[in-house]
Amino acid sequence: MDPLDRLDATIRARRGADPASSYTASLFAKGRGKIAQKVGEEATETVIAALAEPHTLASEAADLVFHLLVLLADAGLGLDDVRAELVRREGVSGHDEKAARSPQGTR
Ligand SMILES: N=c1c2ncn([C@@H]3O[C@H](COP(=O)(O)OP(=O)(O)OP(=O)(O)O)[C@@H](O)[C@H]3O)c2ncn1[C@@H]1O[C@H](COP(=O)(O)O)[C@@H](O)[C@H]1O
């Protein structure tokens, strides 16, 4: 299994686990607001790494991906949902993609 899929499955398995037993479980216990805050922090750290410390970029990106997967899992979503959205976009040119996000094409 791909490491990303393995991480996604591990994260989803941590939902409802004892918060004392795992960092991921403790994030779920703190709720979506805290998880979203962590995603924001990790995104900022990733941007700073890209601009100032590129040798740490892959590490910061891994932190960001981990926290993003926790946020998705908290909303009942996973990598397959993101894959499905990316596949849907393959049939839409970049120019038309924004309009295609809305069923009415008005956004
Ligand atoms: N990939 C990760 C991963 N990336 C980052 N982190 C954690 O994210 C935290 C980020 O550090 P911060 O200093 O920003 O956060 P903090 O100060 O600990 O927490 P806050 O006070 O900010 O809430 C660190 O504790 C990292 O260990 C991760 N923790 C777990 N995983 C993987 O998730 C899976 C499940 O892990 P457990 O939940 O620990 O069993 C395992 O496969 C792990 O490898």
CATH number, domain of 49, equals: 1.10.287.1080
Please work out whether the CB of residue 22 comes within 6 Å of at least one atom of ligand 1.
yes
Mean pLDDT over the full length of the chain = 91
Q: What ipTM score was computed for the predicted complex, to two decimals?
A: 0.91
Residues 9 and 60 placed together within one structural domain of the fold? yes
Pairwise CA distance, residues 102 & 32, whole Å:
25
Distance of CA 66 from the midpoint of ligand 1 (Å): 8
Residues 34 and 44 placed together within one structural domain of the fold? yes
Region 57-86 average pLDDT? 98
Region 68-90 average pLDDT? 97
- Indicate the pTM of the whole model: 0.89
Distance of CA 23 from the midpoint of ligand 1 (Å): 5
Residues 64 and 92 placed together within one structural domain of the fold? no
Please work out whether the CB of residue 6 comes within 6 Å of at least one atom of ligand 1.
no
**Sign of CA pseudo-dihedral 67, 72, 75, 79:** negative
pLDDT one-digit tens code per residue, 9-39 = 999 999 999 999 999 999 999 999 999 999 9
Q: What band does 105 get if pLDDT is binned at 50, 70 and 90? A: very low
Please work out whether the CB of residue 24 comes within 6 Å of at least one atom of ligand 1.
yes
Q: What is the pLDDT of residue 73?
A: 98
Distance of CA 83 from the midpoint of ligand 1 (Å): 24
Residues 84 and 69 placed together within one structural domain of the fold? no
Residues 84 and 72 placed together within one structural domain of the fold? no
- Distance, C-alpha 77 to centroid of its chain: 10
Spatial contact of 71 and 39, defined as CB atoms under 8 Å apart: yes
**Sign of CA pseudo-dihedral 80, 63, 43, 31:** positive
Q: Which H or E run includes 29?
A: helix 23-30
Please work out whether the CB of residue 49 comes within 6 Å of at least one atom of ligand 1.
no
**Domain count for the chain:** 2
Residues 54 and 15 placed together within one structural domain of the fold? yes
Domain span holding position 93:
78-107
Spatial contact of 38 and 63, defined as CB atoms under 8 Å apart: no
Q: What band does 95 get if pLDDT is binned at 50, 70 and 90? A: low
